[in-house]
Amino acid sequence: AQKITQTQPGMFVQEKEAVTLDCTYDTSDQSYGLFWYKQPSSGEMIFLIYQGSYDEQNATEGRYSLNFQKARKSANLVISASQLGDSAMYFCAISREEKQAGTALIFGKGTTLSVSS
Amino acid sequence: DSGVTQTPKHLITATGQRVTLRCSPRSGDLSVYWYQQSLDQGLQFLIQYYNGEERAKGNILERFSAQQFPDLHSELNLSSLELGDSALYFCASSIRDSYGYTFGSGTRLTVV
């Protein structure tokens, strides 16, 4: 079975600072994908970034980067230059890689990020 | 707009009742997934359909059922509702592999 652990229930950061949200995972699959989603107070799930288990380079998407350490089974999200609009709940998730039909995402409990001015 | 449409956005109903949540996937997506998000259980996978067939089951209660129709829209049926079923129910769709996942905006169900 796959499992995601997010140990930081809440994180506080000031505007323009960088912040790292921790995520460790457990899986027996050789091929898998790691995701980060943002959920603002309005409730929608916003996709941020994806890392495939065989990707050699860390994924980046604008101010978001994923620090992927396969041997340590960690996939931390780094947000550079935090903005007030980054205040939200952040979820790490894992899925199997199955090209035909896709598979469900298994989510962690989430980390609440609060950005202050 | 993510392209995944969920209706209704809000639903208030009484214990013991039955409700149906509807999801229209993004155009071209064959897989539909249902998730439940509650304060105590977090985000939990319920069930997946792929091109009309049930593909995978997660923590879905026997009181809950789902189906995917030939036009690929999906419905989640919740019956004999209990207070603990109050949650945000998400639908997501993907064309094939997991990378293309897209979530709808969710249906907030309140059981009173």
pLDDT digit string, tens, across residues A63-77: 999 999 999 999 999
pLDDT at A96: 79
Q: What is the mean pLDDT of residues B72-80?
A: 97
As given in the structure block, the two tokens for residue A62 are 């604008």
pLDDT at A57: 93
Residue B83 C-alpha from the chain's centroid = 18
pLDDT at B28: 87
A110 and chain B: CB distance < 8 Å anywhere? yes
Task: Compute the distance between CA of residue B36 and CA of residue B6 in angstroms, rounded to an integer.
Answer: 13
Furthest-apart CA atoms within chain A: distance in Å: 46
Residue B95 confidence class, pLDDT cut points 50, 70, 90: confident
> Who has greater pLDDT, A103 or A75?
A75
Burial environment of residue B102 by CB neighbours within 10 A (0 to 12, 13 to 18, 19 or more): middle
C-alpha distance from A65 to closest chain B C-alpha (Å)? 16
pLDDT at A98: 65
Residue of A nearest to B42 (CA): A109
Q: B98 and A109 in contact by Cβ < 8 A?
A: no
Q: Which of A99, A101, A108 sits opposite B55 (nearest CB)?
A: A101
Q: Does residue A24 contact residue A73 with C-beta atoms inside 8 Å?
A: yes
Q: What letter does residue A31 receive in the DSSP assignment?
A: S
Q: Does residue A6 contact residue A110 with C-beta atoms inside 8 Å?
A: yes
